[in-house]
């Protein structure tokens, strides 16, 4: 790491696939407070690498919502759609190191594979030693076979979830870094962007915990520093589903930031006093920064959104 890095540089990296909802607010609040309470910087990155799922209107809506909730970020917003050259350089580096291979497998051909915890096929290694004659490259995959450098089980200490261990060859298989449609994969983009920005601490939802081992593996392959990770419990609805556009989570109400922020702080175990209900948004933030304790965040992967926290 360069000596000019601050002691703490965090970030929030929403995907602009729809408006911010309460689940994303909880992640934003956790990462923002952890940075600010430690005198750190907090960066904002629009993760629009998956262009077909993202829109500029959603990105602008997210920026407006964050502003109305009183979030302030350091420096200019980074947009992944402008970072393609950096991802391409990283792919060339992986190609030169012999760590990636072209893959001709179609989704249908992988349909019989075992499934990873996130529902994706665990890649059976079909093209690792070369594609069958006459086949066309669909995607580029990074090799995590036990013989690959750095492919031993990835172990890291998460500041909230504790020790996490993942055997990528068993749990995930060789994973995609460049997709069949030519777009770079989220896993590669995040690693390249976090390193380019000098991010030291990644505080995000525990739904991304499964991705972290892949990202640490890529950091090893590319010779990049590994940030510290803290995965916050993810807010789930009564059916146990993560709040998301697909589960019809309501967009945040920008006119009532204090009520939603108090709910988020409470879920994060910060116990805001009752009188803060009448505080201004900025008074609430001042209290929250002064009193933030990462150690009080529930050490769980999910948090059911209790009835009393549903903002009317
Ligand atoms: N863009 C991802 C999301 O919205 C977050 C990625 C990250 O924080 O690393 O779920």
| pLDDT tens for each residue of 16-66 | 999 998 989 999 999 999 999 999 999 999 999 999 999 999 999 999 999
Mutate to test the pocket of ligand 1, among 26, 47, 66, 245 (most ligand atoms within 8 A of CB): 47
Please state the φ and ψ torsions of residue 165, each to the nearest 5 degrees. -130, 135
190 CA distance to ligand 1 centroid (A)? Answer: 8
- pLDDT the model gives residue 311: 47
Q: Is the pLDDT of residue 150 over 90?
A: no
Atom of ligand 1 nearest to the CA of 11: 8
What local confidence, expressed as pLDDT, does residue 278 receive?
93
Q: Going by CA atoms, what residue is nearest to atom 6 of ligand 1?
A: 13
Average pLDDT of span 131-143? 90
Mean pLDDT of 258-263: 94
Q: How does residue 291 score in pLDDT terms, banded at 50, 70 and 90?
A: very high
Q: Give me ligand 1 centre to Cα 210, in Å.
A: 12
Read off the pLDDT of residues 93-126 as tens digits, 9 standing for 90 and up: 999 999 999 999 988 888 888 888 888 889 988 8
How much is the pLDDT for 2?
45
Q: State which of 9, 190, 201 you would mutate to test the pocket of ligand 1, scoring each by most atoms of that ligand within 8 A of its C-beta.
A: 190
Percent of the chain with pLDDT over 70: 93
CA distance 32 to 268: 13
Q: Could you tell me the pLDDT band of residue 164, with boundaries at 50, 70 and 90?
A: very high
Choice from 204, 216, 227, 245 to test ligand 1 binding pocket (greatest atom count within 8 A of CB): 204
d(CA 99, ligand 1 centre) in Å: 25
Q: Which of ligand 1's atoms lies nearest the C-alpha of 24?
A: 4
The residues, any chain, with a CB within 8 Å of residue 302's CB and separated by 6 or more, are 206, 233, 234, 235, 236, 240, 242
User: Which residues line ligand 1 at a C-beta cut-off of 6 Å?
Assistant: 13-15, 47, 190, 204, 208
Q: Which of 9, 13, 21, 234 to mutate to test the pocket of ligand 1 (most atoms within 8 A of CB)?
A: 13
Residue-wise pLDDT tens digits, 219-252: 999 999 999 999 999 998 888 888 776 665 677 8
Residue-level pLDDT at 33:
98
Supply φ then ψ for residue 58, to 5 degrees.
-65, -40
- Taking every pair of C-alpha atoms in the chain, what is the biggest distance, in angstroms? 71
Q: Give the phi and the psi of residue 82 in degrees, each rounded to 5.
A: -95, 5
Residues 6+ apart with CB under 8 A from 104: 127, 131, 132, 135, 136, 137, 138
């Amino acid at each position: 790491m360069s000596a000019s890095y601050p002691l703490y540089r965090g970030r929030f990296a929403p995907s602009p696939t729809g408006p911010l909802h309460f689940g994303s607010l909880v992640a934003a609040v956790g990462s923002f407070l952890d940075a600010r309470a430690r005198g750190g910087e907090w960066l904002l990155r629009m993760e629009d690498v998956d262009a077909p799922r993202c829109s500029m209107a959603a990105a602008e809506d997210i920026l407006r919502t964050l502003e109305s909730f009183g979030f302030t970020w350091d420096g200019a917003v980074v947009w992944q759609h402008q970072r393609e050259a950096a991802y391409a350089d990283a792919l060339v580096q992986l190609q030169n190191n012999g760590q990636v291979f072209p893959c001709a497998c179609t989704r249908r051909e992988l349909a019989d594979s075992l499934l990873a915890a996130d529902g994706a096929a665990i890649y059976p290694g079909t093209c690792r030693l070369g594609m069958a004659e006459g086949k066309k490259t669909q995607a580029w995959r990074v090799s995590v076979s036990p013989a690959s450098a750095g492919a031993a089980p990835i172990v890291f200490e998460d500041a909230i979830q504790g020790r996490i261990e993942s055997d990528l060859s068993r749990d995930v298989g060789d994973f995609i870094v460049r997709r069949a449609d030519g777009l770079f994969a989220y896993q590669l983009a995040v690693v390249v962007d976090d390193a380019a920005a000098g991010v030291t601490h990644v505080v995000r939802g525990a739904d991304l915990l499964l991705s972290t081992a892949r990202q640490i593996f890529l950091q090893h392959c590319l010779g990049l520093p590994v940030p510290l990770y803290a995965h916050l419990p993810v807010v789930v609805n009564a059916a146990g589903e993560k709040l998301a556009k697909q589960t019809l989570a309501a967009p945040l109400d920008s006119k009532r930031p204090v009520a939603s922020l108090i709910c988020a702080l409470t879920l994060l175990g910060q116990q805001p006093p009752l009188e803060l209900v009448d505080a201004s948004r900025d008074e609430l933030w001042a209290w929250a920064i002064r009193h933030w304790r990462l150690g009080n965040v529930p050490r769980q992967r999910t948090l059911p959104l209790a009835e009393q926290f549903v903002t009317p």
